[in-house]
Chains A and B, each alone.
Chain A
Amino acid sequence: MDKLITHSPILIIAIPLLAAFLTPLISRVNQKARDVLVITTLALAGFLVIILARDIYANGIHIYTLGASSPTLAIPEQYMVPMRIILEVDAMSIFMCIIWATVSLAAGIYSLSFMKEETGRDRFYTLLLLMVGGVFGMMLTGDLFNLFVFLEISAISGGALVAFRTRFTDAVEGGLKYIIISTVGALMVLFAIGIFYAQYNLLNIAALGQVIQYTMLDKVALAFLVIAFAMKLGSVPLHMWVPDTYAVAPANITAMLLVSSQICMYALFRTCFSLYGVTLNTATVGWIVIILGMLSMFVGVTMAVLQTDIKRLIAYNCICESGYILLAVGVGLAVLGQPAALDTYGIAAMSGGIFHMINHALFEGLLFLAAGVLFYRVGTRNLNEMGGLAHNMKFTAILFLLGALASSGIPPFNGFASKLLIYESVYQFNPILAIIGIIVSIITLAIFVKAFFSAFTGQVLPKYKDVREAPKLMMLSMIILSIIIVFFGLFPGLIVDWLAHPAADALINQAEYISAVVGG
């Protein structure tokens, strides 16, 4: 068991990758076995995440050096700095892993039924598992170049998955847009990594964080990193690919892409907090993040009002919700240098934002999955053509409503708890930001009233007389997500204390992150 915990960081990455290349071979033998393999792999990754999480919350940061003679030997004997690829797992990384494990398991179960009629499913599952491995890698790595590699792995597999149903023109277009913006963003990240390497001859985040100076070149690198990650997480005004991509991808892939965007948010926070830390002018960078967040909230929700494509509408709402996270963590970043302010509201804002991250992934994932059910049964994403579907799809309607209410911040669901935490703490930083946040939340409710009204309510339209309820596996994956949503809504204090607060602490505590690798 100890051995398993020691090796679990790499196993979480390597097992999905191994399974990814096993699927094409196995699906030649038996299709059923392939499906079982995919779900087992996802469940196994989730299990490893849980045992690693227990260890990390008990014993602190966990490092794993690839190829060394011992996993914790970060710096080889004759060297002064870490040379090998190091995986560094702290409470923040494992928090992201929990999100990803949950959503990818739900999406995997969903795709068993959703992708049934597609051809070339062995390639679909290969790409899906590659994406799972790539995103896990991004969360667990402690090395900047490795971050770039895993970013590209998840981008390539994600782009291919978006365009998987090549018979739809818009799917290919969405995939192309996704892959182009990912490539440009990733190359800019690589350029910034080159700048770091030129100055410090280091690639490890912790070792770089120890020596970073915030010179002129570091500022250029910071601009590239922050904006490249902001583009990949879909923050306004770099958000325009989000609705194009999310709307056309298969619904399960959209739920996964949503989390893979959040990983870029994680990478952004990692850059700002663990890499630069207090060396940068926290007020400036904090306000840049806050402004990106405010713009995302406002433009995202107002653009969602006029959408008539259900998945585009939810995609714009995603932009809006990620704005909340940027706002909350930006407030934490802006007061990073002031311990008094950090104690009174900074940490609370950050735990609110981080709590909102998991809520965001869960309820938006649920909404996308429910919208996917509509597409699967009705054959359109256009809200103008829908109506009265709740008569035949009662459970889908209830689950969609649950996701919508959670997203709009209606008590007692989880969205309310995290948004309340954000409002309460941001209000002490700047009251106007909190008030705008509340207004945006109200408009969020309005857009979901529109979506729910036009899709589900009213008398059943004659052409949808024979529409049936969602298939069982799709229903199962949606129910998994909704149970977690309700649980988080009823016990928010538990989640904040157990998961969100340690993650916020881990981000703020740069010294601990550095000393885990460099020592001393």
Chain B
Amino acid sequence: MAALEFGLDFWNPIVWVIVFLVLIAGAYLLRSRGQKKYKKGTAQTQIFLSGEEPPPVEQRHIKAHNIYWGFLQALKGYYDPTVKAHTGIINDYMIWFTAIVTATAVILFIVG
């Protein structure tokens, strides 16, 4: 009932969930063996930055446009033309539509 079968393979989420729960329980066991003797609210739970004052909260959070900067930079050759194609002008959308209809019709005529 729960399983999906593909020829010889299968996927059974119930089995997966049971295994996952067992692993979670193991992780929890390990965690519960950890050190409990620290004092909340003192320097022990504060951010430590080589003795400096940590920056305010706004600056500590990494902004969305900085995430994956390296990925975007590495694929600049792909991204620049792709982003440029998304002009946001409705006429350009229609140009794409006309071009693709023509191309499809030509392909259907030639190939069959």
- A residues at B contact (CB < 8 Å): 176-177, 180-181, 184-185, 188, 216, 219-220, 222-224, 226-228, 230-231, 237-238, 240-241, 244, 281, 284-285, 288, 299, 302-303, 305-306, 308, 348, 382-384, 386-388, 411-412, 416-417, 420-421, 424-425, 446, 450-451, 453-454, 458-462, 489-494, 496
Contacts and interface: CB of A to CB of B under 8 A. Distances in A.
Given A284-B111, A384-B63, A446-B68, A176 B90 contact: yes
Nearest to A491: B2
Interface in B56-73: 57-58, 60-65, 67-68, 71-72
Nearest to B17: A412
Interface of B: 1-6, 9, 11, 13-14, 16-17, 20, 57-58, 60-65, 67-68, 71-72, 75, 78-79, 82-83, 85-88, 90, 92-94, 96-97, 100-101, 104-105, 107-109, 111-112
A226 B58 CA distance: 49
Contact of B61 (A306, A412, A461): A461
A372 B87 CA distance: 26
A124 B87 CA distance: 30
Nearest to A418: B4
A451 B100 CA distance: 33
B2 A493 contact: yes
Contacts of A238: 93, 96-97, 100
A219 B57 contact: no
Contacts of B94: 180-181, 184
B2 A490 contact: yes
Contact of A303 (B82, B87, B93): B82
A230 B13 CA distance: 34
Contact of A308 (B64, B96, B105): B64
B11 A420 contact: yes
Contact of B68 (A240, A411, A450, A462): A450
15 contacts: A177-B90, A227-B100, A227-B104, A228-B101, A238-B97, A240-B86, A241-B90, A306-B79, A384-B63, A421-B6, A425-B6, A451-B64, A454-B64, A458-B62, A494-B1
